Structures are given as C-alpha cells and as structure tokens.
Structure 1
Amino acid sequence: MSVGLVWFKRDLRLRDHQPLAQAAQCERAFGLFIIEPAWLQSFECDPRHVDFLLRSLQPLQIELRQRGMPLLVRIGEAVQVLEALRREWNVTHLFSHEETGPAWSYARDISVGRWSRIQHVHWQEWPQTGVIRRLRSRDGWAARWLQRMEAPQVAMPAGFRAPPGMQPDPLPTLADLGLPTPRLQPPAGEADAWERLRAFLGGDGRDYRRALSSPLTAPEACSRLSAHLAFGTLSMRSVHQATELAIEHTPDRELAYGLRGFSSRLRWHCHFMQKLEDQPDLEWRNIARSLDGLRPGDGGPWGALAQERFEAWCEGRTGYPMVDACMRQLCSTGWLNFRMRAMLVSFAAYHLWLHWRAPGLFLARQFLDFEPGIHWSQMQMQSGTTGINTLRIYSPAKQARDHDPLGEYVRRWVPEYGTPAYPAPIVDEKSALAQAKEALYGHRHSPVARQEADAIQDRHGSRKSGLPATTQRRGRKKTADPGQGVLF
C-alpha cells in the first residue's frame, strides 16, 4: 500500500500545491509540519515568526481535515520525526517543495535525503518559486522564470484517504514552546493572503510606484504580501498570474501603471533567492572575498567601539532621527518599506562601518517577512560587498527631506527628538563617509577586485536578455535597479 506524507515547510496553503496533488494519488495520505529546534534556536528566529506560522497552520489544518487529510504537527529534529512516522504508519512516499533557506535547513535537507535513501522512502520535491536547482548559468534565467510562472497552476485535490484511525495533532501554543506573545499579531493564513492580493489588484495598488518609497505612505500603497510569500500562504505563480490578469483587464490606467511596477519586482524576488541557492555560504561570507577583513567583526575581533555603535543602531538611538524612527517602527511592527530598510543597512555599513553579519541577524529577527535568500543578498549588496553592484550610500537627512518633509514620521516614532533627551549623532557623517568611500572605492580599482568582479558577475549578475517579446507587448518594463525591487 502506498502511504504518502506531505511535508509542509514554507508552503502553508492548499492552492497551487504540487505535493498535495501528488499525495492525492496515494492510497493513504497525511500531512506534517515539523517545528524544529534548529529553527527555534537559530539567530534568525523570533517569536513573531513562530506566531505567524502557528496562526497560518490553524486554518490550514481545518481545511485539510475537511478534505480528509490529518495534519500532524510535531516538535523535534526532522529525521527523527520522519522515521517515527515511517515506522508507525508505513510511509512509502515523502512529498515536499524545494526550499532555499539558511544553513540549518540546508543541512537538514541533506540529512533527510540520506534518510530517505536508506529507508527506501521515495522523496519527491517540486519548485514553488523561480529558483532553479543546480543552475549552471544565469543565461536565459529570466525566460525560464517566466515559463515557470506562466505554467498552469496545480488544481486543489478534492479529497484524500487518511490512514485509518489517524487524527490531527493539537497545535502547540507559544507558551508551550516557551515563547512570549508578540504585541502585534497581523492577520495570517491563506485566506488573508488572498484577501490582501485581491484588494491590492482591485485598486489599492494604484499608488504603488509613487508611494512605496516613503514610510508615511508605503504601508497603504504596498501589497503587504511579503510575509505571505515568505511563509508560502500563497504561491509566487498565483501572484504573478493574478497580477498579469488584473493589468490586462483593468480600465484604470493608473492602477495598471502601479501593477506593472509591482509585477516587475516579482522576478527580482526570485533573482535574489537564486544567489543563495547557487552560493549558500553568502549567508556568512563576503561574496567578494577580496574584501575579507575590511570591517571589524569580519574574521576578527568586534571591538568595544563597534559594539557600542551596533547597540545604538539596534535600539534606535544613533542621533540620526530618520534612522532611529525607521528602526523603532521596524522593531515595533515587523515591517518597513524597502527604501528605509536599505537606508538602515547603508547606515550600519558605511556610517558606522559595521560588518553586515551581526546587523543582518538582528534585522532577520525583526522582519516578519524574513526570506533568507533575499535578506542575505540584500545585506551584502547594500553593504558594498558583492563586488559588482553600485555602492548605495543613503543620506538620512536627504531621505528625511524627500520622504518626511514635515517631520510627521520622525515625530511619531522619536517623540523625544529636539529635546535634551535625544542623543547627539553617534558619528560625524562627513568624516565617516569619507573614510568608508576611500576604503571601498580604493579597493574597487585594484586589479584583484576587477578580476574577481568579472567572475561574480558571471555567476550572480542579472541578464537583460531572455524575456520573450510578449512581455514587452504587455507593457512591462525591465527594472533597471534591482536594489529597489524586492519588497512588496
């Protein structure tokens, strides 16, 4: 008898779910989510992530049960959990989506692969984004991404046949896991993801391009789908196809204009994830290895001065009001628009001269929509360690003038600004940036850096060709600056 096990990871949905469709072909099938200690103990995990996960699992478990599939939720190391279930229920097939994650999940999947071979469990994985496993060349990647995104979505199975006597597990609570309840609990789950998508495509995305850069207007202008994409409560393909359909049929030119900008960023989402898939060590090593040791904390001692600056940056007390306001909003809500995220990283990397790894771990815990491939690629790009991207140094004063001209945003999040309680600037901007530019620009002109950049561009650089002419006829524009296009 064939017994299929659907291993849910970051794909907490029913729609467009190939593992579910495959499991429906088995004589018996059930689902599983594993709450892994390696995740809970990782430096990237925060209670806000676990809370969003549990509140996404709850409706999924109910929906699956109505279709005859029990969803088990177990706490433990993946191989041990899978082996116990294999023995108890005679599992013959394991179905899951591919995952491009941090080092602990990469090692976990290697262990599961070894286990499945030893135990003769047929493990089959399917892609759920535009990321391509074992990619040999970036040439033609954009066309392959488009082909995958425009393929028919997987139909939702009508029902399943569960092993006799199996019942769904009760979901653990945050208290069961020894975690506090976050102050804010934004809506979670597949139904909310679709509600947000429909609202955005139906009119809320009209001002997307004009309003996405300001922290005052971005919360309403952006789709706010990034957490749903990170946890897989809807698929990238579903978003792409729904967006293209809305662009094609809306009579509202302003809305179509906004949605085209949104559509172009979906490809950049997968473009950055592909980097981590191709080079897993970029999570902790500079992409441009010739920059190793340039900043404190990169293979050497962190130092008291760097620690002081890092703590001030984390706590939103740098003396730069726009920086502090953005950090406080992020820590409070778990979300910040992309331009302000880039400014936070730029400030840490250039003004404070901090290596990107420790700031990256701190930000990973704050971002509800933490997506490893995007996150670490962006941390390196915004810190100037990719060796190929333009150095983006954001002036906090200019960002305030451009995006908070009346000071509304700063007053909301830094009420003590302008009083003796607010600290003086932690560094002098002019001298700090002069030193950073001298170090980085001087390095970029060296022969070793130029040679290294060619190899990096060949491995990770975007390609301007490869999209068929039909995409241009639809009115889509290619995004010239990937640094502004990965948050929705």
Structure 2
Amino acid sequence: MREKQQVSIFWFRRDLRLDDNAGLYHALKSGESVLPLFIFDTLILDKLEDLDDARVTFIHKAIAGLDQELQKYGSSILVKHGAPTEVWIQLLNEYNIKAVYTNHDFEPYAKSRDESVSQILKSKGLELLTYKDHVIFEKQEILKDDGSPYTVFTPYKRKWLEKLNPDFHLKAYPTKKYLKNLLQIPPFEIPALEQLGFSTSSIDFPDKEYQDVIEQYNGTRDFPALDGTSRISVHLRFGTISIREAGSAAFEASEKTWLSELIWRDFYAMILWYFPYTAKSSFRREFDGITWINREEDFKAWCEGNTGYPIVDAGMRQLNTTGWMHNRVRMITASFLCKHLLVDWRWGEAYFARKLIDYDMASNVGGWQWAAGTGNDAAPYFRVFSPDLQTKKFDPKLEYVKKWVPEFSDPFKYVQPIVDHRYARQRALDAYKAGLGKI
C-alpha cells in the first residue's frame, strides 16, 4: 500500500492571489510542504440561475492564472468540485495532512461551512487555522468604549482612523520569501467550465489598475457618465487584489474619499458578522411591519430597465449587460424599487446577488437596507429620492442615460413612467408610517 503524502493544505476561497496573502503566508512559513487547494462548491454553484454566471468565469480564470504562477515554483493547485465536507473527507483519505490553513469568511453560509469542515478536521486531530485577510479591521477590532459594536458609520470611521497604524495594518505579508515551501508536484488538471456545468461569460472584466482615479475620486465618483471610479470591486471581492495594497494606496493619497469607501467595506463586514440576521431581515426590527406591494410586473419592469425613469432604466441595463453598476446609480435604483414601487428590498438584493460580478453580501445587504431605510445608519424612511432630480444633478447632459437607453430621445419609443413620482412618494410615506405603527 502506497504511503500517503504528508502535506499542509492552504485552502483558497476569496483570496485568489499568491502575493500578500495572510493565510498562505502562515502556511508557507510553517516550513511544511504546502498543497494549494480550491473547491468549486456545489452547494453554492447549484443555486446559481445563469449557466454563464460571470463570477464563475472570473474565478475559473483567476484559478488558471494562479496555477500558472505556482508552476513557476514547481507546484500546482488542486481543484476539487463538490460539497466541501465531502471533499475534505476525501482529502483526509488521500493525504497525510499535518495542518489546514485558510482565511476568514464572514457570510452566514461560510461560517456554517467552516464549522462543519472544522468538526471533520477535529475528528482527525486537526484544526482549521484561519486568518484575517479580506478586510483591514474585522469583528471585534473596532468597538465602542463599552465593548459593543458600532452601528453608525461616522463614529466607527473615527475610531477606525484612530486605531490605524499604516506600518502595521497595511503592511504586506512577504509571501514570496517562502514560496520554496510549496509542495513540488506536476501540474494538476483544472476542470473546464463545462465540466462544472457552466459556460464562459461574455462579460469583460475590469483590470487591476486603480491608481489614476484615486486623487480625483471625490470629484468624479458621483457622475456615472465619467470613468471616475476604480472598478476594482470584483478584485477585492475575490481577493485578486490585496485589501492592504488598496488601503495603502488610499492612505497615501492626498484625497481621502477612496479610503472612506474601504472603511465602509470594513463597517458592513463587521455589521454582518455581529448581526447575521440582517442578511434576510431588517436591521431595525421596527420596519418588519411594512406591507410591501410586491407586484411581479413592476419588479419585472425594474429588472429589465423599463420603468419609464431613464436613470433607473440606464442603471439596470448597465447591470444586465456588464455585471456592474455605478455606485450612485445603485442607490437610485434601490431606492426606486423599495419606495416608488414598494417592492421588498430583499427582492432587489437577490437580483443584485444574481447579476453583480462584485457581489459581496455584507456590502450589498448594507447598501440595500440603507436605501430602503431599514438598516443601521440608513437614509431616513421619509427620504424618497427623485430620479429626475438625481439625473439633473449627476447626469445633466444625459450622457449616461443616452448610452444605456438610446430610445429615450424618441417619446414614441420610450415607455411611459410606471408610476407618478408624487403619488409614489406619498404612498411610500403612508406605507412606512403604517408599518411602523404596527410595532
């Protein structure tokens, strides 16, 4: 009987890079031969509605790129396809595993998955060693003086900045020093997308360049017709760019608005970790009494970008075509769905979860609850954005609108507004007040 190979395993998840990877650094520094691993999780993949889901293509390309890098060091990445618990039982039979390393994940499913895998490893005398890598500050690192979590962003940001030591918190892990400790093996075969049950997405992914936009970010970020945002959110989501690298660039810039956006990211990750119920329920429980109309035909018109409100329609068409939407327009479209159409924010959050290539549960849920007025530090429920005023302020020349809604210029071709703004505003105020009155 062949003796099982002795290895430590580093499990890649949302950290698809070799450089400045906390868990990989600790695995390699241990001195054991490290086998890189990625699992295409069928418990996640089986729930995806689109066979050409762009995120699967992005991950597959990132894994292929990782493998090419690893081969330069005489190693390769083992790619498995299945339920994580079943994969780990198989791995424990195939290898003599000394230790298992990975990085934290805060989403409710990920926490449950890691607990299940941890129990399997414990049965063999092993521990799942996890490290902070996806955010700059996590969990209990930024707390009020009384030890409770912040639920309002501004004081959280103040404490975040007070605690930040750039030379420590933004310092890159010197992973490359220890890449010699990668397991020396011939290349593994990476399963094709078709073997995973998917096809290649036609969506173009943004590159990793973002330095040019940082300095003028505050002046350009709200105008969707401009190329004024970094577009690196998909890379931060899947860890093809290190958050410490991005944070360091933001800290060193003279204009700090971009840094503030990274702090929002940490804030929402902390909220989801402390309050996991917010993934499916209102952070502010008093808003659970709202009676949503939830008209299927209204929701369909919103999804397809046929509401008769051009800034809303432009945003939805941009999302459906590119897998991305400008952040200002994300707020406008979300507010419109919840308040103009009185459709439950969870419907919109789920649609964004399906379509966004940069979908991050913490930030997406946080943004949707902010727009709906149900979240922590949210927009007041009585603030109902006027799409027309938002258009005049942020797309005054209608460049963004005309790009995505070309028929807008022809009143005989463009659809009529699905609802009157004044009527919708009053209806929303009445529904929210009635909902609050039920508590």
Q: TM range, normalised to the smaller chain?
A: 0.7 to 0.9
What residue in structure 1 maps to residue 297 of structure 2?
308
- Aligned CA distance change for structure 1 residues 162 and 16 (closer, same or farther; 3 Å): closer
Query: TM-score of the superposition, structure 2-length normalised?
Result: 0.87
Instruction: Give distance in 2, aligned partners of 1:322 and 1:350.
Output: 16
Question: Once the two structures are superposed, what CA deviation does each residue of 1:245-273 show, in whole Å capped at 9, x if it has no partner?
Answer: 3x3xxxxxxxx33xx21122211111011
- The alpha-carbon deviation at position 225 of structure 1 amounts to 1.3
Contact kept, 8 Å, 2:118 with 2:127, in 1: the verdict is no
What residue in structure 2 maps to residue 87 of structure 1?
93
Pairing 1:281–2:252 present? no
What residue in structure 1 maps to residue 109 of structure 2?
104
What residue in structure 2 maps to residue 405 of structure 1?
396
What residue in structure 2 maps to residue 179 of structure 1?
198
What residue in structure 1 maps to residue 129 of structure 2?
124
- The alpha-carbon deviation at position 66 of structure 1 amounts to 1.8
- The alpha-carbon deviation at position 383 of structure 1 amounts to 0.7
SS in 1 for 2:11: strand
- Aligned CA distance change for structure 1 residues 168 and 280 (closer, same or farther; 3 Å): farther
- The alpha-carbon deviation at position 44 of structure 1 amounts to 8.3
- The alpha-carbon deviation at position 130 of structure 1 amounts to 3.2
Structure with bigger RCO (C-alpha 8 Å, 6+ apart): 1
What residue in structure 1 maps to residue 144 of structure 2?
none
Query: TM-score of the superposition, structure 1-length normalised?
Result: 0.79
- The alpha-carbon deviation at position 3 of structure 1 amounts to 2.2
Question: Once the two structures are superposed, what CA deviation does each residue of 1:26-74 show, in whole Å capped at 9, x if it has no partner?
Answer: 3321100100111112358871111111111111111122224321111
Pairing 1:271–2:267 present? yes
Question: Once the two structures are superposed, what CA deviation does each residue of 1:152-178 show, in whole Å capped at 9, x if it has no partner?
Answer: 3210234244556x4333223332222
Instruction: Give distance in 2, aligned partners of 1:229 and 1:207.
Output: 20
Question: Once the two structures are superposed, what CA deviation does each residue of 1:408-428 show, in whole Å capped at 9, x if it has no partner?
Answer: 222221122234232211111
The amino acid across from 2:233 in the alignment is S
Pairing 1:70–2:49 present? no
Pairing 1:41–2:30 present? no
What residue in structure 1 maps to residue 421 of structure 2?
429
- Aligned CA distance change for structure 1 residues 144 and 281 (closer, same or farther; 3 Å): farther
Contact kept, 8 Å, 1:52 with 1:185, in 2: the verdict is no
- The alpha-carbon deviation at position 241 of structure 1 amounts to 1.5
Instruction: Give distance in 1, aligned partners of 2:186 and 2:85.
Output: 21
What residue in structure 2 maps to residue 383 of structure 1?
372
- Aligned CA distance change for structure 1 residues 42 and 279 (closer, same or farther; 3 Å): farther
SS in 2 for 1:350: helix
Instruction: Give distance in 1, aligned partners of 2:417 and 2:338.
Output: 16
What residue in structure 2 maps to residue 155 of structure 1?
174
Instruction: Give distance in 1, aligned partners of 2:121 and 2:368.
Output: 35
- Aligned CA distance change for structure 1 residues 415 and 447 (closer, same or farther; 3 Å): closer
The amino acid across from 1:400 in the alignment is T
Question: Once the two structures are superposed, what CA deviation does each residue of 1:272-311 show, in whole Å capped at 9, x if it has no partner?
Answer: 11111111121111112222241337xxxx5xxx111100
Pairing 1:20–2:12 present? no
1:162-241 to structure 2, matched below 5 A, reads 166-187=185-206, 192-193=207-208, 196-197=209-210, 200=211, 203-217=212-226, 220-241=227-248
SS in 2 for 1:34: strand
Contact kept, 8 Å, 1:44 with 1:361, in 2: the verdict is no
- The alpha-carbon deviation at position 354 of structure 1 amounts to 0.6
Instruction: Give distance in 1, aligned partners of 2:245 and 2:49.
Output: 28
Residue identity over aligned pairs, in percent, reads 29
Instruction: Give distance in 2, aligned partners of 1:376 and 1:326.
Output: 18
Where do 5+ consecutive residues of structure 2 fail to align? 142-146, 151-155
Question: Once the two structures are superposed, what CA deviation does each residue of 1:358-392 show, in whole Å capped at 9, x if it has no partner?
Answer: 11111122211111111111111111112652324
- The alpha-carbon deviation at position 134 of structure 1 amounts to 5.7
Q: How many residues align?
A: 415
Deviates more, 1:144-153 or 1:285-294: 144-153
- The alpha-carbon deviation at position 223 of structure 1 amounts to 1.4
Question: Once the two structures are superposed, what CA deviation does each residue of 1:170-213 show, in whole Å capped at 9, x if it has no partner?
Answer: 223332222232222315xxxx53xx14xx2xx44343111111
Deviates more, 1:410-419 or 1:339-348: 410-419
- The alpha-carbon deviation at position 234 of structure 1 amounts to 1.7
Pairing 1:115–2:110 present? no
The amino acid across from 2:343 in the alignment is L
What residue in structure 2 maps to residue 137 of structure 1?
148
Where do 5+ consecutive residues of structure 1 fail to align? 248-255, 449-488
Instruction: Give distance in 2, aligned partners of 1:162 and 1:206.
Output: 39
